[in-house]
Structure 1
């Protein structure tokens, strides 16, 4: 772990402070660089990953989590992990679509709205395509596991948005394929962080923001909005735990196996968590939180078909970009679609895995 040792010298005090007395002195400490604050289900999902790896290796490894972008901001995560500034961390595919072109398929509407289905399909795709593993190795990265934002919804202040006509002229914060489609349908697209949208909604800079049910509650957007329109159109699913390959290769085989195994188990843990968080948030916001409630609305079914149709061209763009990157874009797209069908069928016939326990 040549690169890691250089890092440790600079933040030794932080590392020592973070190591619990229950961790053996011989444990390897891995630096986890995270741009999120650590609050909410996403932070809990990262903590769960770390705890599971420690448990499955009998505390042979420990994690020093640097939250809130202390080591690097989200757009720099891929390069920073590859350079060894951290041993591992979450990489958001949307920030580096060229380098993460294969992974960015998880940001497309082909994944559907079910968090568990999306993550299972993504996990199998990312771990069974040799060309993806090779491209990541060339970037000094190893893919471990995937998370998701869950289904895209539209949170609005003032007049409700339930048709395409309602979208026209609205100031909407949106990103990815979904934001581009809103703009194409007549919205005035506003670029800003999701975390800045509370104030923007409150002051009228925004009419609506692209968001997610659980986050509308946790970020308290319900305080400054009047409705949430359920699109259940797709997800931003290219949110993955990646590791510096030099560090990964230096670890004992049992630790490598634990990291990969836990990564494979993330969809079951996080899928259950997301379903629960979203259902609870919608119920609470509809009934009212501290006296403030919002309307939970549905988008017009016929207009929703048109919205989805408008977004299809961006799927074709992905195929083109994948081909230009030396990947088999058409074949990969069809494979991902088949994986989505596979896990939808498994869910419908057998139920979610946590429901069996």
Structure 2
């Protein structure tokens, strides 16, 4: 699960990566399945968060502006900070507000909604909207294996038949929350803007190049098949990008695709 988080930089489109993550964990990652089994857990659903962005105390627009700055950086984001010439600081999302307020951090890393949800807007009035990817890898819904096995096939279908709606609601609510926060906090003085084009190009290039580092870290952590997992993430990313381009990204269509491609395929007639 921690290894999957190393690929968060690829999550510039949460609708795509939500499909990727669910299909990967539920059907296309034997190592993932075994890890859940080791924790006596039947995974059922997850989602990818909306992209992380930088919430900064001052307006930063170029790569050079980041040199020497102290930026919240965890996992792959620590490497991104170093690549930008900044110093990564490992603090939790809850600690980041105080760190911003005291000047320990120049920029915090979180979704746009953190302006309100975590009060970053009180200390950081400059939000760079260029997406940095976003965390994915946490389970949204799971069940103890013995509990799942105790259900009848019809009861299991009652669960799986509603997973697409639950996941769709979660991700669309996060997208709407980000939009609402931009509207609300623009009125209270926060500047939401895009950095110079070179910044977005740098982040995108770094995300692609970092995959080799991610695989190497997986090997160091003892992941059995790190390259295979990385390749499957890339394959599924292409699949879900194409699916959404061909079918659309409205809420109803997205829910249908999740159900058809993933949740309707969960085996409910046999024990896990």
TM (normalized to structure 2)?
0.80
Report whether the alignment pairs 1:169 with 2:77: no
Counterpart of 1:249?
A: 149
Counting only pairs closer than 5 Å after superposition, residues 48-63 of structure 1 correspond to structure 2 as none
Verify the 8 A CA contact 1:110 1:234 in the aligned structure 2: yes
Tell me how far 1:226 sits from its aligned partner.
1.9
Residue of structure 1 equivalent to 2:248:
350
| Deviation at residue 300 of structure 1 after TM alignment | 1.4
Describe the shift of the 1:261–1:123 C-alpha distance in structure 2 as closer, same or farther (beyond 3 A).
farther
Say whether residues 1:153 and 2:53 are aligned partners. Answer: yes
1:265 aligns with 2:161: no
Query: Is 1:305 matched with 2:201?
Result: yes
Deviation at 1:147, TM superposition (A): 2.8
2:14 counterpart of 1:115: yes
CA contact (8 A) 1:197 1:209 kept: yes
Cα deviation, residue 285, structure 1? 0.8
1:116–1:267 Cα contact (<8 Å) kept: no
Picking from 337, 340, 354, the partner of 2:237 is 337
* Aligned mate of 1:282, from 182, 194, 214: 182
Indicate which of 316, 325, 330 corresponds to 2:212. 316
2:44 aligned with 1:144, yes or no? Answer: yes
- Give SS of 1:169's match: coil
Which piece of structure 1 moves more, 131-140 or 141-150?
131-140
| Larger-gyration structure (1/2) | 1
SS of 2:206's partner is helix
In structure 2, the gaps of 5 or more residues are 256-272
Greater relative CO, 1 or 2 (CA 8 Å, sep 6+): 2
8 Å contact kept, 1:201–1:224: yes
State how far apart, in whole Å, the 1-side matches of 2:100 and 2:157 are.
46
Is 1:124 aligned to residue 23 of structure 2? yes
**Alignment counterpart, residue 214 of structure 1, candidates 113, 120, 131:** 113
SS in 1 for 2:15: helix
Secondary structure at 1:233 match in 2: coil
Give the aligned length: 249
Note the alpha carbon deviations across 1:304-353, whole angstroms, 9 max, x for none.
Answer: 2122223334312334427951362354133222233234314xx43412
1:223 matched to which residue of 2?
122
CA contact (8 A) 1:171 1:207 kept: yes
Question: Could you tell me whether the CA contact under 8 Å between 2:215 and 2:230 is conserved in 1?
Answer: yes
Offset of residue 222 of structure 1:
0.8
Partner of 2:92: 193
DSSP-derived class of the 2:132 partner: strand
Aligned-pair distance for 1:151?
A: 0.7
Contact 1:146 1:239 in 2 (8 A): yes
